[in-house]
Amino acid sequence: MARVVLDDLTKRYDGGALAVDKLNIDIKDGEFICFVGPSGCGKTTALRMIAGLEDVTSGEIRIGDRVVNNLPPRDRDIAMVFQSYALYPHMSVRDNMAFGLQLRKTPKGDIDTAVEAAAKILDLERFLDRKPGQLSGGQRQRVALGRAIVREPSVFLMDEPLSNLDAKLRVQTRAEIARIHTRLEATMIYVTHDQVEAMTMGDRIAVINEGVLQQVGTPKELYETPLNRFVAGFIGSPSMNFIDLKVSNVGGVITLKGEGSELRPDDAMSALIRDSGLDTVTVGFRPEHLEVGAVDGPGLGVTVTLDVIEFLGNDVLVHGSSEGHDIVAIVDVDNQLKVGDSVVLSAAPRRLHVFNPVSLARMIGN
């Protein structure tokens, strides 16, 4: 069990490409943190630097009390689960799990106990003598987890461990990993591009884009107060809608208008927008916070022409457009909307996120 600190961690490849730019994260002992971001954002590179598989260009990695920048992977007290599982194909499941312990000259009896225990947790007891080639994808993934567990490392590193599994197995294995985390109380760093995975598993989530850390926080914090437009759009499914609105200040009364949309801000929002002096702002609102019908008083109203309606059961997912902006909303099935309808969708002021259209930083919300 250990705290992991990334201090200005930077990776620049030989060609000059900057993969990770001054990453600062303090991961608490026993915490489950997810690194999430689109493909190529540098999250895997960051993980590989922590593992010792990639050289650090500058900055520092501390695991526990030690700076590990120059330690080989085996001396960092970590275990890693690879996206491809990376099981040794010529060894049995038992040997795959025991390999790391054998190399550490652990007594045979202790190895057997550790392997049996891990196999029991992961329900692999029947497969111990099989080769990885004789197992299904889900079973292989569990062997890869088992190989990490038997080592009892202070930090678990997981690189998109579920992305090769089908949807059902993914949900099962997700729960399995969460259980293992509770049981072992180990620090886990989990890399994924799937924000749903990150939201459901992580104690905290670090959102990374283009090598730069965008925001670290609990899933709730990221959902409710995204610090910039990228985080707002990345977290949540379906993603947040954005529209640009022009600010008009008539005698101190602020109104925001777009083509087919209008926002009447409440007092706090008015003050902020007035003080910012901006003449355009980007307003974000989540599909699940939209309601059919106009609102009286402060709030946002968008007139949308519907072009696709997806039935979800209790709700419907409607896609439409409002003067060039695509708008998605989840509304009650009772509204009985049809393709081609033109409806007003509205959101309360506390559901709105306002971003500076230039810096993309958050101005106000909630």
Partner 1 sequence: MSAVQAASLPAVSTPPKRRFRVRPSRIVINVVLAAVAIFWLVPAIGIAIISLRPESAFEQSGWWTVLTAPAQLTFSNYKTLFSAGFQAGGVLDSLTTSLAITIPVTILVTVISSLTAYSLVFGRWRGRTVVFLLIVAMLVLPLQMALIPVASLYNFIGDTTGLKIFGTVIGVIIFHVAFGLPFGIFLMRNFYTGIPHDLLEAGRIDGAGEWTLFRKVVMPLGLPAAASLAIFQFIWVWNDLLVALVFLANNTHETLTLFLYGQTRFLSSNYWIISTGAMISIVVPLIVFFAFQRYFVRGVLAGAVK
Residues that bind partner 1 (CB under 8 A): 51-53, 72-74, 78-80, 82, 84-90, 99-100, 103-104, 131-135, 137, 140, 147, 151, 164
**Both tokens assigned to 274:** 């007035």
Of 206, 284, 291, nearest to 239 (Cα)? 284
**Residue 255 beta carbon to partner 1: minimum distance, rounded to whole angstroms:** 56
CB of 67: closest distance to partner 1 in angstroms? 19
User: Which residue number, 89 or 297, has a Cβ lying nearer to partner 1?
Assistant: 89
Determine the 3-state secondary structure of 120 from DSSP.
helix
CA 5 distance to own-chain centroid: 19
Residue number with CB closer to partner 1 (26 or 75)? 75
The least distance separating partner 1 from the CB of residue 135, rounded to whole angstroms, comes to 7
Q: Smallest distance from the beta carbon of 104 to partner 1, in angstroms?
A: 6
Decide whether 88 or 259 has the Cβ nearer to partner 1. 88
Nearest to 157 by CA among 144, 166, 170, 172: 144
Distance CA 57, CA 63 (A): 18
Please state the closest distance from residue 314 (CB atom) to partner 1, in A: 37
Of 54 and 203, which has the nearer Cβ to partner 1? 54
DSSP states of 145-161: HHHHHTT--SEEEEEST
Which CB, 100 or 284, lies closer to partner 1?
100
Half-sphere exposure of 226 (CA within 13 A, CB side): 27
Residues 157, 170: Cα–Cα separation, whole Å: 18
**Per-residue CA distances from 247 to 157, 276, 277 (Å):** 47, 11, 9
Q: What three-state secondary structure class fits 226?
A: coil
User: Is residue 330 within 8 Å of residue 283, measured between CB atoms?
Assistant: no
Is residue 125 within 8 Å of 119, Cβ to Cβ?
yes
Smaller CB separation from partner 1, 71 or 171 = 71
- For the bound state, the minimum distance from the C-beta of residue 29 to partner 1, rounded and expressed in Å, comes to 21
Q: Give the residue with the Cβ less far from partner 1, 142 or 204.
A: 142
**3-state secondary structure at position 62:** strand
Beta bridge partners of 39: none
Q: Residue 304 to residues 100, 232, 259: CA-CA distances in angstroms?
A: 59, 22, 11
From the CB of 9, what's the least distance to partner 1, in Å?
A: 19
Considering beta carbons, is residue 15 or 133 the nearer one to partner 1? 133
| CA geometry: angle 89, 91, 93, nearest 5 deg | 95
Rounded to 10 degrees, the C-alpha dihedral 193/325/213/349 comes to: -110
CB of 111 to partner 1, least distance (A): 13
Tell the smallest beta-carbon distance from residue 73 to partner 1 (Å). 5
Of 86 and 344, CB closest to partner 1: 86
